[in-house]
Structure 1
Amino acid sequence: MSQFVLAAGGTGGHMTPAQGLAEVLIARGHHVALVTDARGARIPALFEGIQTHILPAGRVSGGPLGWLRAWQSIRDGRAMARRLYQSFEPSAVIGFGGYPALPALLAALKTGVPAIVHEQNAVLGRVNRLLAGRVDAIATAYPEVSRISRRAAAKVHLVGNPVRAEVKALRDLPYPPLDEHGPFRVLVTGGSQGATILSDVVPEGLSMLPPAFRRRLQVTQQARAEDLERVRARYAEFGIPADVATYLPDLPERLGWSHLVIARAGASTLAELTVAGRPAILVPLPSAMDDHQTANVRELVAAGGARSIPQTDFTPVNLAKQMQKLGLEPDALANAARRAWDAGRPDAAERLADLVEGLAA
């Protein structure tokens, strides 16, 4: 039995795969502690009952003064992490990206504890890029990840992106039956932070579908708090049954009975779509660092499990066109679901746990 520290930035994209690894390590009899920031500690239903430590970690931005403040914050966080390691004595520290992971990994490198980074995206993130040459291993979610130096390439291990157990359980369930007269269930999600562009476009786009198709729709949409009432009002105006909320605690269940997902192209979203085998229309976030969401979708789009629309082209008219191409042909959707399922890596958490245990040994 070993002890492991998981360090993750405070967004769902970093925290969800960390949760997936934690579940496997705990099931194997190990102890796990989490290092994150205040945002990560507030995400519901993740790391409940697990020892959690909030470390200071400033963003390296804002010019010379901002850099100085960030470095001081990182130094303070590293000192706190070293004190934690004196009592917790981890066998390895695993970083999942985001600035809160940086001081925890720096402390591991300083004290000789094996250090691993996991990259969820198809482009190596800033913190992982900074440490890639110094850590013991780099676990990736995609076969091709850009921004990895030649020197660090020998450390790369393809494992996939861990998902929660509730999502993994969907893999054994069939794609929901769909015919031209039955309900057509659509799940709309912008990730852990929501997405206003989806609130702006999706209700309007669905309203443009032929009446017979529109009457079949059953929509679940995650929206930002400031968009909530506006989105509800639009669906009511169009006569489309819709459940709109800022947070969906039963998201895996809703994913399981969805026929189509409309979403951003975050790494965790794509991992869940492929593990569950659900077709999607994806809208990459153009402001994502290094445009990594556009890179993320390439594998799934090439496999035929999703369609990608650049945000500049994501209009109600274009969405309605794509919906009709997919929704009016049940066989096309079922085929896309199979192709998405084939692209999944459901054993990602187990493979990452194997790598972690091997290095710790």
Structure 2
Amino acid sequence: MSGANKHFVLAAGGTGGHLIPAFVLATELDRRGHHVALITDERGANIPGKPDCLPAHILPAGRFGKNPLNWVKGVRAVLQGRKMALRLFESFEPSAVIGFGGYPALPALLASTSAEIPSLVHEQNAVLGRVNRLLAGRVQAIATAYPEINRLKAKHLDKVHLVGNPVRDGVLGLRDEPFPAFTEDGLLRVLVTGGSQGARILSEVVPDGLAMLQPALRSRLQVTQQCRPEDLDAVRERYRNHDIPAELGTYFEDMAARLADAHLFIGRAGASTVAELTAVGRPAVLVPLPIATDDHQTANTREMTKTGGARAIKQTHFTAKELAKQIQAMAQRPETLATAAHAAWNCGRPNAVKDLADLVESAGGADLMDVIRSSETDKGAKMVAATAGIGA
């Protein structure tokens, strides 16, 4: 359905949460024969994983914190970035501009409105981000990753398309693999990651929590944990004192393989993390990052916890005792953990990149694709997929 070769500009903030889905979409659009370009900031241009088909253009993008004194500087930077984006559009001639959130996406999307170029945004989290909220009235479509989105105005519901969060091929390829065998006397493989922010509490709590499991479970543990460099020695000592075998590292290049082997995940609830867990079907104990903007990580856990695919623990309640209690409940019997894994799998949206690419290709046409249109329900701000089979 791709039709003629087109040019698309992707605009994203400089974090992995914004950029990973942009990278996955760029690869899919390139595969369909289109040309793609990226607008981001310096941090985003240096994030690993950018496909070769996606040249990066660094534009100034002001930040608007709580201090009004910084707003003038921020507005000036956005206007400068908008002017530079317009110059890029003159030469690249995009059919559409796609924003993935973050302040670096703002100048490009403002420029697309000025140049009357179709635009849409993709929201990775279960809370509409600040930039996407600001632009919701200007764009032609809002692609979402969850059926329920906070901070989305009712007047914009008719623009919503539930597509999911695109994940990397290496992870998506695991979706049809069976959940690793977990028996009464087999290993319980636990994967722990904390992301770039707030990983310290995981390093402090998880080893002690695992040590409090009942002996029948504790004796079968095999742990892989990603730690901050400054925490590595202390975490290693904790596991050694508890006599729990653990492989520790600051970064694992083969994260997809680690996820494939894991029976249980413990970590934060960032959008990419939740998307990968549900794509593969891995049960989880999730500890939302409390300083995340608009508490969006707590909202990200909503779908998985409702279905039984995850347990969520607020950081203020995240103690060794509480962690042990939740793990014990999930893994007390092999079938309990397998059921949670299947519940997580059912939350996955494996066609996310295809559906998003279809939506992007249709931008600028007579009508945006309606195959994944979401509709308003009785609760107003809750969206449900109108297409049979999505999320099934």
The interval holding the TM-score normalised by the smaller chain is over 0.9
Q: Which moved more, 1:180-189 or 1:217-226?
A: 217-226
Cα displacement (A) at 1:247 = 2.1
| Residue matched to 1:12 | 16
**Structure 1 residues 56, 89: closer, same or farther in 2, change over 3 A?**
same
* Secondary structure in 2 matching 1:78: helix
Cα displacement (A) at 1:246 = 2.3
**Structure 1 residues 187, 357: closer, same or farther in 2, change over 3 A?**
same
- The 2-side partners of 1:46 and 1:205 are apart by 37
Conserved 8 A contact 1:9-1:99: yes
| Residue matched to 2:172 | 168
**Structure 1 residues 233, 80: closer, same or farther in 2, change over 3 A?**
farther
Cα displacement (A) at 1:194 = 5.8
Conserved 8 A contact 1:124-1:148: yes
Letter paired with 1:91 = S
Q: Spell out, residue by residue over 1:181-216, the C-alpha distance to the aligned partner (whole angstroms, 9 max, x if none).
A: 222111111235462221111111112223442232
Q: Which moved more, 1:213-222 or 1:94-103?
A: 213-222
Structure 2 unmatched ranges of 5 or more? 366-392
Residue 195 (structure 1) aligned with residue 194 (structure 2) = no
- The 2-side partners of 1:233 and 1:121 are apart by 36
Letter paired with 1:241 = P
Alignment of 1:131-146 (within 5 A): 131-146=135-150
Q: Of 279, 282, 287, which residue of structure 2 is paired with 1:283?
A: 287
Alignment of 1:107-146 (within 5 A): 107-146=111-150
Number of aligned pairs?
361
| Residue matched to 2:369 | none
Letter paired with 1:224 = R
Percent identity among equivalent residues? 62
Q: Which moved more, 1:123-132 or 1:8-17?
A: 8-17
Letter paired with 2:269 = A
- The 2-side partners of 1:84 and 1:233 are apart by 53
Cα displacement (A) at 1:328 = 2.7
Residue 183 (structure 1) aligned with residue 151 (structure 2) = no
Structure 1 unmatched ranges of 5 or more? none
Q: Which moved more, 1:239-248 or 1:75-84?
A: 239-248
Conserved 8 A contact 1:167-1:272: yes
Residue 306 (structure 1) aligned with residue 307 (structure 2) = no
Cα displacement (A) at 1:6 = 1.0
Alignment of 1:214-225 (within 5 A): 214-225=218-229
- The 2-side partners of 1:2 and 1:217 are apart by 51
Cα displacement (A) at 1:318 = 0.8
* Secondary structure in 1 matching 2:174: helix
Residue 32 (structure 1) aligned with residue 36 (structure 2) = yes
TM-score, structure 1 as length reference: 0.96
Cα displacement (A) at 1:48 = 4.2
Letter paired with 1:116 = L
Q: Which moved more, 1:184-193 or 1:108-117?
A: 184-193
- The 1-side partners of 2:332 and 2:50 are apart by 38
* Secondary structure in 2 matching 1:101: helix
RMSD: 1.5
| Residue matched to 2:260 | 256
Q: Of 290, 297, 302, which residue of structure 2 is paired with 1:293?
A: 297
TM-score, structure 2 as length reference: 0.88
In proportion to residue count, which structure has more helix?
1
Q: Which moved more, 1:57-66 or 1:248-257?
A: 57-66
| Residue matched to 2:359 | 355
Conserved 8 A contact 2:82-2:107: yes
| Residue matched to 1:271 | 275
* Secondary structure in 1 matching 2:262: coil
Q: Spell out, residue by residue over 1:155-198, the C-alpha distance to the aligned partner (whole angstroms, 9 max, x if none).
A: 11111111111111010100000112222111111235462221
| Residue matched to 2:87 | 83
Cα displacement (A) at 1:356 = 0.4
- The 2-side partners of 1:228 and 1:77 are apart by 41
Q: Spell out, residue by residue over 1:53-76, the C-alpha distance to the aligned partner (whole angstroms, 9 max, x if none).
A: 122112101523200111111112
